[in-house]
Amino acid sequence: MTLRLALTHRIENRFDQPVQCSTHWLRLRPAPHTRARVEAYSLRVEPGTHFINWLRDPYENHLARLDLPQPVTHLTLTVELILALADSNPFDFLVESFAAQAPFAYPRQLRKELAP
């Protein structure tokens, strides 16, 4: 069974006087490798005078670069999304014998592979 969720997240800042905002890096979208599949997504930014460029970081996370070229008296970010969550068993994994009791130590070869 798939569970569908609709979420709205709003961040609102108001300033006493106009301020010049530096570049904002927004991480307001689930990563594509999560178990939550994004069916619909929207990001609204107020005030209207802004630039958004979407990119992905080395880990495939979605990033939005937000630039506000003019001083603002408020900044509002509204994210709306619909997610589909598939059933999953969080205990569907194997535990290696060396890790059956905590604390444990990784075997030498695995320690070498995990070092980076």
- Reported as a single tens digit per residue, the pLDDT across 71-87 is 999 999 999 999 998 88
pLDDT at position 62 is: 94
The residue with greater pLDDT, 87 or 113, is 113
The beta strand positions in 1-116, using DSSP E, are 2-19, 24-26, 36-46, 51-56, 62-67, 72-86
Of the candidate CATH numbers 2.60.40, 2.40.128, 3.30.1330, 1.10.3470, the domain formed by 2-87 belongs to 2.60.40
Average pLDDT over residues 5-12: 97
pTM of the model: 0.72
* Structural contact between residues 62 and 53, judged by C-beta atoms closer than 8 angstroms: no
The closest of 108, 90, 89, 88 to 98, measured between CA atoms, is 108
How many whole angstroms separate alpha carbon 19 and alpha carbon 69? 11
Q: Judge whether residue 1 has pLDDT over 80.
A: no
Which pLDDT tens digit goes with each residue over 23-53?
Answer: 999 999 988 888 889 999 999 999 989 999 9
What is the rounded average pLDDT for all residues in the chain? 93
How many whole angstroms separate alpha carbon 96 and alpha carbon 29? 34
